Amino acid sequence: QQQVKQSPQSLIVQKGGISIINCAYENTAFDYFPWYQQFPGKGPALLIAIRPDVSEKKEGRFTISFNKSAKQFSLHIMDSQPGDSATYFCAASFEGGGNKLTFGTGTQLKVEL
Amino acid sequence: GAVVSQHPSRVICKSGTSVKIECRSLDFQATTMFWYRQFPKQSLMLMATSNEGSKATYEQGVEKDKFLINHASLTLSTLTVTSAHPEDSSFYICSAKRGNTIYFGEGSWLTVV
């Protein structure tokens, strides 16, 4: 019920390409879906987040697509750059659960020149 | 800038000793903070929820007596790893909620030798 499944585990994209990472969840009580970016040896940094009342949210080159009926959400990184190379985690939480984040397993993204 | 600060960023301690890690919310009050543990190339695992003025809530499988959490003020939570052993070596990360967003600290690397 609390699990968030993330894929792919790793991803290699050419510079300028689109990086797509997918997540699926089971618990329909989840009402907050953030994406975090983590560089080696650093804490996760919030990238973008969405709530279930919208199907898409865009901030700069980053877009979250949300499909409530399928219980899936994805992160799209447009015009991927080498500086985007990092590990990305999706997560989910709900207020009734104390706002505890349940994390996906992470995707290691490498953007090649 | 950072909204959650952790200290120390790196610490090495001898087996059998205790080590304390601090997590501070900067410029905001956090009644609830969260402590995570992360092994290399793995996701974040929630250890406990730190509640200001009351006992921490531990996740299943986390030893309360080994990982002591104190949330004595609205801006400070501490994690003390007691009688540390090499298997406790890990990356420890805290987070705090400000408004509707959960922010993470930079993490603390613990190495037990």
- pLDDT by residue (tens digit) across A43-78? 999 999 999 999 999 999 999 999 999 999 999 999
pLDDT, averaged across chain B? 94
Look at phi and psi of residue B41 and say left if phi exceeds 0, alpha if psi is from -120 to 50, else beta.
left
DSSP A3: -
Beta-carbon neighbour count of residue B41 at 10 Å? 10
H/E element, A22: strand A19-25
From A96's Cα to the closest Cα of chain B, the distance in A is 14
pLDDT digits (tens, 9 = 90+) for B75-85: 999 999 999 99
- Please give the interface size between A and B, counted as residue pairs whose CB atoms are below 8 Å apart: 52
Interatomic CA distance for residues B43 and B46, integer angstroms: 10
Which chain A residues contact residue B57 at CB under 8 A?
Answer: 98
pLDDT band, residue B101 (cuts 50/70/90):
confident
* Per-residue model confidence (pLDDT) at position B82: 97
CB pair distance less than 8 Å for B93 and A89: no
Per-residue confidence (pLDDT) for residue A2, from 0 to 100? 60
Pair B101, A47: CB distance under 8 Å: no
Q: Looking at beta carbons, which residues of chain A come within 8 Å of B48?
A: none
Q: Which residue does chain B place closest to A97, by CA atoms?
A: B49
Please state, as a whole number, how many other Cβ atoms lie within 10 Å of the Cβ of residue A106: 22
A92, closest residue in chain B (CA to CA): B102
CB contact (8 A) between residue A43 and residue B43: no
Q: Do residues A94 and A29 lie in contact, with contact meaning Cβ atoms separated by under 8 Å?
A: yes
**Nearest CA to B44 among A74, A86, A38?**
A38
d(CA B93, CA B44) in angstroms, rounded, equals: 8
Q: Give the integer Cα–Cα distance in Å for B18 and B83.
A: 5
Q: End-to-end distance of chain A based on CA atoms, in angstroms?
A: 40
φ, ψ for residue A90 (rounded to 5)?
A: -90, 160
Nearest CA-CA distance, residue A101 and chain B, Å: 8
Q: Please give the pLDDT value at position A98.
A: 75
Q: Do B102 and A34 touch (CB under 8 A)?
A: yes
* pLDDT, mean of residues A35-49: 94
Mutate to test the interface with B, among A89, A100, A107, A109 (most CBs of B within 10 A): A100
The CA distance from B104 to B99, in Å, is: 14
Closest partner CB to A100 (pick from B46, B103, B105): B46
In angstroms, the first-to-last Cα distance of chain B is: 34
